[in-house]
Amino acid sequence: MKERNANAGIRRYAPMIGVAAAVVVFYLAIEYLRQARVLTPYYVQILMFGLLNCMVTLGLNLINGITGQFSIGQAGFVAVGAYSSAAVTTLLFEFNKLPATLQPLVFLFAVCVGGFAAGVFGYLIGRPSLRVKGDYLAIVTLGFGEIIRSLIRYIEAVGGPRGLPGIPQYAGVRGGGLAWVLFFFTLTVWFLRNYIYSFRGRACVSCREDELAAETMGVNTTTYKVQAFIVGAVTAGAAGALQAHIIGFIHPDQFSYVRSTDFLVYLYAGGVGTMSGAIIGAMSLTIVLEILRFLADWRLIIYGVVLVLMMLYQPNGICSGKEFPFLIPKLKAAAKSSKAGVTGR
Amino acid sequence: MTALLEVRSLGIRFGGLQAVDSFHCRLNQGEIGGIIGPNGAGKTTIFNMLTGIYPPTAGEIFFRGENLVGRPIHGFTEHGIARTFQNIRLFKELSALDNIKIARHMKVKYGFFPGLFRTEAVSRRENELEEECLSILERLSLAQYARHKASGLPYGVQRRLEIARALATSPELLLLDEPAAGMNPQEVDQLSKTILWIRDEFKVTILLIEHHMQLVMGVCDHVTVVSFGKLLAEGKPDEVKVNPVVVEAYLGKGGKF
Amino acid sequence: MEHFLQLLIFGVQLGVIYALIAMGYTMVYGIIRLINFAHGDLVMIGAFTAYFAARVPGVGFVPALLAAMLLPAVLSVLIERLAYRPLRGRPRLSVLITAIGVSIFLENLPRVIPFIGPNYRSFPKLIEFREFPLYGSAIVNSIQITNVIASALLLSVMVGIVRFTKSGRAMRAVSFNKDAAALMGIDVDRTISITFFIGAALAGAGGVLYSLTYPMIDILMGVWLGTKAFVAAVLGGIGSLPGAVLGGLLMGIVEVFATALYSELGYGAGFIVLILVLLFRPEGLMGKPTIEKV
């Protein structure tokens, strides 16, 4: 009996162990290529930024794709995460003077603070904003994002309009920062997958499908819309915290609404409503835009044209509603569960 | 014995229009009530008030002795009132099974963080839920559609699925808004049997809006007639059927059912 | 008091420009429910058109203004035809992403055009600068007067078109119900084109007036100007023409007063007002509330 339980346990955790192992192998492979000078730090950094963009886009997918709200202020949450975590490592602690054993803990703490602060803002913004719907919600979130940026410019302690330099580059590309980024990325994917396929996630989906019907099914739609905002904000905040500690310098203008529309583009180009779409959209566009750098000024022109063509000829995005199977939790009875999962449109 | 549902002088005014005026009705546990009346009489508006969608401007809705007026929509559902819609409002892009799962929302409870980590207990609960929902579908002979997208199902199946979804919230009172709309006589006949069966099988009290007199007369214990937002008559189906006021409202003077 | 009056003048000067640009947002939104992200870039194109037109000998303010209205208008009709029209009936977000794509394209295209490029340029003085004392130490200058008169004129012409012409009636019908309008024999495509044309012409004019006021122009000027004008449109109640004017004026005045208080505050202040208004009147100051039918 005992043995059978143990076996069940192994079977249950096998996919997770598999994914974790895959992430570790991936990390080691990249590290090896870097040591072997096949990959320059520049490439690794692009990969890291791609993963950060994935995190933010995954959070945005929860708000826009799963819950059916329309937020275009995600960069504001990234800013909150970046600034609050940087405040921890520069103002609260003198990071570089800390003993090496304490540094990871303080860094972890800083990322948590970044995520938490963004979450608080997510609540403060989500709660009143949800009184308005659709396009109005979009403009309110955009407005809040810009207000956050204005506020940062106002706070002298974090550099105001001049930006904040000298943040310890603890997650920098040379300090093995890829490990940190991969860790938080994997955590984000795992948490969001579990969230979406829980009763809370289904409640979010019901808000998207038909708010009134959802209410008559006993779903407090306000609660779940706000919750989606908070979770999405926390993800963005964590990504912001990492970003601050990769580059070591943050400036209010890095978080303008233009950045918010980037995430929107990643999501819709990849395929809104699925995590696969968010990940593939963010990763591929980040990389493609870097590859196209040799085009100099032509790069964004082509980007604009491609975006328009994409919406004309592949409107459902690259993934068009398909989800990677490992992003859908297995159920015993669900031997032949549909490919699209709960989020398919 | 107190009634399960007791509505007292319920009224709603939209701007200058008194859509419903001093409506009242009383329904005991296990009964089937019917609301009939010409188009635009305010029947659906009454349902919307009984489910919290429109807050009434006057009157009380006592459900199991508690006044529900002023509660949010999901509060009505939490207290045990479920409904279907006249123009089917399923979660169209989702599978039949997921429609039912969402309706079981109130019956699933686990913490936020256990949910994030999808602990053993959460996983177990989700597996149970899947079985519960499949069994609800099975009881309403919808099992074969479990993985089908709701919008792709035939009309009649969609109607049945909507009833299944309402039942999945484990209600005490089930409100059916024109369940027979768009059905042919054979289907209506079948529906009558289904409604009676649902009452016994799921131990629910039912209130329905319907135009098919045959259906209303066949299943209802109690009928309320409304016209132009006003209560016209009430009583047993046989009494109502011969009430001259009702006949006149429906068919004009000299009409006959 | 004099200081207050002076700030008010600055606010109105800026506000009428926002109103002109907001009008285009509101018209396009009213007719196809699209936040036209590319609208701000038409403002920039208008400003540059006037910049180059003014180099031609003998071209003064009015011809330059007309040229600056015509080019964005034609361009806008073209954009609608090529990028937005094929997407009609698709999810609105696809169209929105397309609009973002068009906007990215328009912002970056001038960068590679040899005679434009990414640098700031100083805008020619199309209007002779003169100051007139108004009350105490408060003064009003010729550019401010030009701004107010030109925008009042353009807005009246536009309102006249929408109110009294056949195309205007078609516009109102299409924005009310596209399908019903088509059944009534209205050429929906043509009406939408006209709407884009007029909206973009006003945006171009807005670009010129803005450049008279702040005579440094660059290819990204439309981004922030467009955003603020959009906020003005939402503030006034998107879809409502008087709302766009009211919202524009309010935005301009709030921004000027907030900047006077603290220079970094100017930008955020408009958004704060917007959010406060939307929280109490989700449909904007002059918008119509929508009611969901169950």
Which amino acid is residue C171, in one-letter code? M
> For residues C29 and A120, which has the higher predicted lDDT (pLDDT)?
A120
Q: Which residue has the tokens 């004009």?
A: B252
Torsion of CA B214, B215, B217, B218, to 10 degrees: 110
Q: Minimum mean pLDDT among A79-83, A222-226, A291-295, C163-167: which range?
A: A291-295
Interface of B with C in 17-46 (CB under 8 A): 44
Among residues A142, A181, A183, A185, which one has the least CA distance to residue A275?
A185
Q: For residues B99-117, give the mean pLDDT.
A: 95
Average confidence score pLDDT of chain B: 91
Q: For residues B240-245, give the mean pLDDT.
A: 85
Element at C55 (helix H, strand E): none
pLDDT at C57: 87
B164 — contact with chain A (CB < 8 Å)? no
CATH number of B28-54+67-251: 3.40.50.300
Model confidence, pTM: 0.88
User: What single DSSP character describes residue A250?
Assistant: B
Cα distance between residue C177 and residue B202, in whole Å: 45
Q: Is the dihedral of CA A89, A95, A96, A102 positive or negative?
A: negative
Nearest 5°: the CA angle C33, C251, C14 is 110
User: What single DSSP character describes residue B95?
Assistant: B
Annotated domain spans of chain C: 2-280
Cα distance between residue A198 and residue A216, in whole Å: 19
pLDDT at A34: 86
How far B48 CA sits from the closest chain A CA (Å)? 10
- Residue in A198, A210, A212 closest to B53 by CB: A212
Among residues A76, A108, A60, which one has the least CA distance to residue A231?
A60
Question: Within a 10 A sphere around the Cβ of A56, how many other Cβ atoms?
Answer: 31
Among residues A311, A312, A268, A214, which one has the least CA distance to residue A70?
A268
Q: Which residues contact A324 (CB under 8 A, 6 or more apart)?
A: A275, A276
Q: Tell me: the pLDDT tens digits for B169-191?
A: 999 999 999 999 888 888 899 99
Cα distance between residue C105 and residue A19, in whole Å: 40
How far C59 CA sits from the closest chain A CA (Å)? 32
C259 — contact with chain A (CB < 8 Å)? no
Q: Tell me: the pLDDT tens digits for A215-265?
A: 999 999 999 999 999 999 999 999 999 999 999 999 999 998 888 988 998
- Chosen for mutation from A62, A187, A193, A199 (greatest number of chain B CBs closer than 10 Å) is A199
Give pLDDT < 70 ranges for chain C. 289-294
Touching subunits of A (3+ CB pairs, under 8 Å) are: B, C
Element at C241 (helix H, strand E): helix C241-261
Complex confidence, ipTM = 0.92
Cα distance between residue C94 and residue C115, in whole Å: 34
Annotated domain spans of chain B: 28-54+67-251
Residues in chain B closer than 8 A to C294 (CB atoms): 44, 48, 53-54, 85
Cα distance between residue B196 and residue B179, in whole Å: 13
User: What single DSSP character describes residue C56?
Assistant: S
Q: Is the dihedral of CA B240, B242, B243, B244 positive or negative?
A: positive
Q: How far is CA B181 from CA B166, B178, B215, in A?
A: 17, 5, 11
Do C220 and C34 contact (CB within 8 A), yes or no? Answer: no
Cα distance between residue B1 and residue B5, in whole Å: 12
Residues in chain C closer than 8 A to B44 (CB atoms): 294
> For residues B253 and A247, which has the higher predicted lDDT (pLDDT)?
A247
Which amino acid is residue A315, in one-letter code? P
Among residues A274, A273, A201, A271, which one has the least CA distance to residue A231?
A201
User: What single DSSP character describes residue A336?
Assistant: T
Q: Which residue has the tokens 């409107």?
A: A315
> For residues A177 and B84, which has the higher predicted lDDT (pLDDT)?
B84
Interface of A with C in 147-206 (CB under 8 A): 147, 149-151, 153-154, 160-161
Do A129 and A140 contact (CB within 8 A), yes or no? Answer: yes
How many secondary structure helices (H) and strands (E) does chain A include?
12, 0
pLDDT at A338: 42
Classify burial at A239, counting beta carbons within 10 Å of its beta carbon; exposed 0-12, middle 13-18, buried 19 or more. Answer: buried
Q: Which residue has the tokens 């990769």?
A: A246
Q: Which fold has domain C2-280?
A: ABC transporter involved in vitamin B12 uptake, BtuC (1.10.3470)
- List strand residue ranges (DSSP E) for A248-308, in order: none
Cα R_g (chain B), whole angstroms: 19
Q: Which two tokens stand for residue C103?
A: 């906007």
Among residues A287, A282, A289, which one has the least CA distance to residue A306?
A289
Q: For residues A68-91, give the mean pLDDT.
A: 93
Q: Minimum mean pLDDT among A335-339, B225-229, C46-50, C243-247: which range?
A: A335-339
Alpha helices (H) along chain A:
2-35, 41-60, 74-87, 103-129, 134-154, 177-196, 199-209, 211-216, 221-247, 257-270, 275-291, 298-313
Q: Which residue has the tokens 């009224």?
A: B11
Write b or e for each residue in C90-124: b if 16 or more Cβ atoms lie within 10 A of its Cβ, otherwise e. eeebbbbbbbbbbbbbbbbbbbeeeebeeeebebb
pLDDT at A339: 40
Cα distance between residue C122 and residue A237, in whole Å: 40
pLDDT at A343: 46
Among residues A77, A147, A90, which one has the least CA distance to residue A118?
A77
- Residue in C230, C267, C275 closest to A144 by CB: C275
Question: Confidence class of residue A335 from pLDDT cuts 50, 70 and 90?
Answer: very low
